Amino acid sequence: MLPIYQPYLPASCLQYAHDALDSTWISSQGVYIDKAKEKLKEVIGSKYLILVNNGTCATHMLALGLKFKYPNLKKIIVPNNVYVAAWNSFLFSGGWEFEVIDANEHTWNIDHSKIKDGGKDTAFLAVHNLGNIINVPALKKRFPEMLIVEDDCEGLFGKYDGKYSGTESLISSLSFFGNKTITSGEGGAVITADEEIFEYLNSIRGQGQSSMRYIHDKLGYNYRMTNIQAALLYGQLMILDEIREKKSAVFELYKNELSGIDEISFQQLEPGTEHAQWMFGIRLNKFDFVKKRMLELFLFENNIETRPMFYSINQHAHLSEIKSDNTVADLLNHQCLILPSFPELTRSQILTVTRKIKDFLRTSK
């Protein structure tokens, strides 16, 4: 079975994790915590960065940091077709009122042109679906009083206005899960340029410990990254250019092979942005849900794993009472399919995937 994703872990990358194991520093202390943190800060240009144990915890810390800085803030504008962790992270601690906006059928992200109130009492959660970047600097110009935070778990290494995604909002969360462009197995990070937010989040990540050891002055969590995770992350950062070159080649070949087919379209980019090239998706413009499922099954029977586009927010049982217009989100869920996108995907494998898709389109007319 050709998997939807598998991490790129050459020996040169794994040597740091082996070193961490040999050092016996296997928990949340060790030299690779700082090494990975400083390297990632250098790469993306972040002022402050906190490593945590996974991307969901990072997004929860994003929500906690926003509430800490603006305790009276209640309303947050959220997309209605993203991975469930983006919504859950704001619900863990409560106190948030969601304003849900439908997707844009061209970008597959939130349709932020539908924002009606972007004032100082409103926050906006930017989620970069599959790595397609929302132009946060442009949004800041349109709504100078609106607070913007980013779930950048899928958008890492994408760009807006020449800067890396995640760096122009109040707080951003990153993920290094096994299917992300760079991975530490699990793992995540929070980035911000706000020193007060950084100090608060850095404390609550480690049980809310004060400057005096074992004296805790706030409610905290155990969200710390381990030295082994950090060593793996550091190894990935050391081969980042190689990983990104491989991913770029995957995206380019898919586009070359599937462009010009009437039934297929791709995510469109917002002006001034660069796609992070995390996962490659296609939209089958004339499909309904049943036909898309038939294609999924056909590819599965040919040993090709695929993934659907996200479901709308109230399709999840614990979110079923949230009201939203799902017109476009449901359309995208019924028509979009995510294809294998990992760095070591070979030319032959990509040509097999695209050939099978073309075969299905030809025989299903």
271 — phi, psi (to 5°)?
-55, 140
| Residues shown for the chain | 365
Least confident segment among 26-30, 210-214, 268-272, 323-327: 210-214
Work out the percent of the chain whose per-residue pLDDT is above 70.
Answer: 100
List alpha helices for 217-305, DSSP H.
Answer: 227-238, 240-258, 289-301
Q: What token pair was written down for 304?
A: 């090709």
Query: How do beta strands 75-79 and 280-284 pair?
Result: unpaired
Residue type, 263: E
Work out the percent of the chain whose per-residue pLDDT is above 90.
Answer: 95
pTM of the model: 0.96
Residue type, 211: S
pLDDT higher than threshold 80 for residue 196: yes
Q: How confident is the model over 254-310, as pLDDT tens digits?
A: 999 999 999 999 999 999 999 999 999 999 999 999 999 999 999 999 999 999 999
Place of tokens 């943190």: 37
Asked whether 100 and 80 are in contact (CB, 8 A), the reply is yes
Q: What token pair was written down for 117?
A: 């109130």
- For residue 232, which of 78, 18, 76, 4 has the smallest C-alpha distance? 18
Q: How confident is the model over 7-40, as pLDDT tens digits?
A: 999 999 999 999 999 999 999 999 999 999 999 9
Q: What angle do CA 81, 130, 168 make, to 5 degrees?
A: 95
Query: How do beta strands 280-284 and 264-265 pair?
Result: antiparallel
Residue 80 CB partners (closer than 8 Å, separation 6+): 100, 101, 102, 103, 110, 312, 313, 324, 325, 326, 329
- For residue 280, which of 210, 228, 353, 339 has the smallest C-alpha distance? 339
Asked whether 177 and 55 are in contact (CB, 8 A), the reply is yes
DSSP character string of 168-188:
SSSEEEEE--TTSSS--SSBE
Distance CA(306)–CA(295), nearest Å, equals 10
Greater confidence (56 vs 118) lies with: 56
Taking all residues of the chain, what is their mean pLDDT, rounded to a whole number?
96
Measured over the CA atoms of residue 111, residue 117, residue 120 and residue 122, the dihedral's sign is: negative
Q: How confident is the model over 59-108, as pLDDT tens digits?
A: 999 999 999 999 999 999 999 999 999 999 999 988 999 999 999 999 99
pLDDT higher than threshold 90 for residue 178: yes
> Which residues face 51 on adjacent strands?
189
Query: How do beta strands 122-127 and 280-284 pair?
Result: unpaired
Asked whether 130 and 154 are in contact (CB, 8 A), the reply is yes
pLDDT for residue 213: 86
Distance CA(355)–CA(128), nearest Å, equals 29
pLDDT higher than threshold 80 for residue 365: no
pLDDT for residue 209: 87
Q: What token pair was written down for 355?
A: 């050939």
- Composition of the chain by helix, strand, coil, percent to 5: 40, 20, 40
- For residue 27, which of 223, 207, 224, 226 has the smallest C-alpha distance? 226
In this prediction, residue 210 has a pLDDT band, given cuts at 50, 70 and 90, of confident
Alpha carbon separation from 27 to 54, 186, 201, 225, 234 (Å, rounded): 15, 14, 20, 8, 16
pLDDT for residue 254: 98
Rg (CA), the chain: 21
pLDDT for residue 205: 95
